[in-house]
Amino acid sequence: MNKLTTDEILTKDAHLIQSFANLHALKQADARTAIVAAEGAHVTDSEGNRLIDGIGGLWCVNVGHGRREIIDAITEQLNTLDYYSTFYNFTHPAAAELAEKVASLAPAPLNNVYFANSGSVANDTAVRMLHHYNNLRGKPEKKQILSRMGAYHGSTHMAMALTTPGYSTGWGAVEGLVHHLKAPHKYREAPGMSDAEFLAVLEQDMLDAIHRIGADNICAFFAEPIQGAGGVITAPPGYHAAMRRITREHDIMYVADEVVTAWGRLGHMFASEDVYDCVPDIITTAKGLTSGYQPLSATIISDEIYDVISGPDAMFLHGMTYSGHPAAAAAALANIEILESEGIPARVQTTGKLFEGLLRGLEDMDMVGEVRGSHFMMGIEFVRNKDTREEFPADANVGGLVAKEAQKRGLIARALGNILILSPTLIMDDALIREIAATLRESIAKVSADLGI
């Protein structure tokens, strides 16, 4: 139980380096919000305000906050085996049981699971595995990677190189390894085109890149089913299946980054096969795997890749101390048990559609250019002129202005420049879903009036 006042928390917090923030701006009074408690779909701040968690922590608290079953499973695990590694010849029951469970839920040939502690490291692990795989196949030059503009794959040095370049402005990223294809962003990249025409453009862009770089030099294509932190960008219908076909034709491994989209957020345990008809070679995932109760990620690889890296002459030189930590594995098992026993992914097919539909209804507002996404993964792009799609200047931070108004009205949303992101818990009833939509409408109307739009 928190016993500190807001001032006491923020004084101590002066020593904490926040993530993805202007650290200078955070020094201003009132710039930071301390969250001190959470229950269900709500959190409580240090001033005692109860807020709807419209971003599910960080697109991760899928089964809601404060679930006793997960907390008890973690405690029980720690009481029995607090820590042991999965290095060398060691293993433990929680990691073994979870690996079997994840493999049983993933698409058919993806039967082999490597655990780490973050989505970033899950993606780095995929890159390392594929480089190793190609070395073992006698193809040491096959190391280049295709990613996309608008992608977000994490914050380690390699994952940031896979991410859209805008995220590493002023920092630098691993050079010479990653090539960014066009973002599948119809609203901005292809106004006036049909879905089919835009899909043809994107396919040609991939083929041109393969031709330019050479298939013999490319090991992988990385793609989120829906680009999340790049602005909730949904590709035209058929995109993932088409990209899958091209990668297969050129012996390029398809890595689906399902860090956000798995574990019910789009109405299925995994989105790749069930939503997008695309069975990749590797799925990386994290977040909803434990609903955020413990840090855990998984890199799930096909038998084809596993057979090579587990061959007689191979040595798997990769490992993190906390890979498959018992408490994290126990949390994931309890979390998946909740997702299954409460039928949460199936329920999201209804409640998520209601959420999506109500948010799409905001497109009747003058400042709302596009509402996009799917189920409980939604983005709202604000524009200065709806007809011409004229953007606000990048520093206008209209998403931030709307998020601030929403927070005053009891809802946490996430700003991304002039875009607002909503990725709430998956356990909300219709009334709460309607409350979020109504709060957003009021907040957007207020900012729109302030800006004279």
**Contact residues for ligand PMP (CB under 6 A)?**
118-120, 123, 152-155, 224, 228-229, 257, 259-260, 286
Q: Which two tokens stand for residue 112?
A: 């082999």
CA distance 217 to 179: 12
Give the shortest CB-255-to-ligand PMP separation in angstroms: 11
* CA 191/CA 202 separation, integer angstroms: 14
Q: Tell which residue, 393, 91, 372, 346, has the closest CA to residue 234.
A: 372
Q: Which is nearer to ligand PMP, 46 or 164 (CB)?
A: 164
Cα angle 9, 10, 14 (rounded to 5 degrees) comes to 120
Task: Tell me whether residue 142 or residue 372 sits nearer to ligand PMP (CB atom).
Answer: 372
Minimal distance, residue 154 CB to ligand PMP, in Å: 4
How far apart (Å, rounded) are the C-alpha atoms in residues 246 and 370? 30
71 vs 93: CA distance, rounded Å: 18
Q: Which is nearer to ligand PMP, 152 or 293 (CB)?
A: 152
Residue placing its CB nearer to ligand PMP in the complex, 224 or 356 = 224
- Tokens matching residue 452: 């004279």
Our CB check for ligand PMP shows the closer of 124 and 381 to be 124
CB of 159 to ligand PMP, least distance (A): 6
φ, ψ (nearest 5 deg) of residue 91: -150, 180
Distance between CA 290 and CA 180 in Å, rounded? 31
Of all residues in the shown chain, the one whose CB is closest to ligand PMP is 119
In the complex, the smallest distance separating the C-beta of residue 259 from ligand PMP, rounded to whole angstroms, is: 4
Cβ(407)–Cβ(436) below 8 Å: no
Helices 344-360 & 326-341 angle (0-180, nearest 10): 80
Rounded to the nearest whole angstrom, what is the least distance from the CB of residue 142 to ligand PMP in the complex?
23
Radius of gyration of the chain (CA): 22
Report how far residue 143's alpha carbon sits from residue 151's, in angstroms, rounded to the nearest whole number: 19
Please report how close the Cβ of residue 222 comes to ligand PMP at its closest, in angstroms. Answer: 9
Specify the residue, 152 or 270, whose C-beta has the smaller distance to ligand PMP: 152
Distance CA 435, CA 442 (A): 11
Q: Are strands 253-257 and 110-116 parallel, antiparallel or unpaired?
A: unpaired
Closest to ligand PMP by CB, 158 vs 368, is 158
Token code pair at residue 160 = 């940031």
**Which residues pair with residue 373 across a beta bridge?**
378
Query: How near is the Cβ of 118 to ligand PMP at its closest, in Å?
Result: 3
- Of the pair 260, 309, the CB lying nearest ligand PMP is at 260
Q: Give the shortest CB-389-to-ligand PMP separation in angstroms.
A: 26
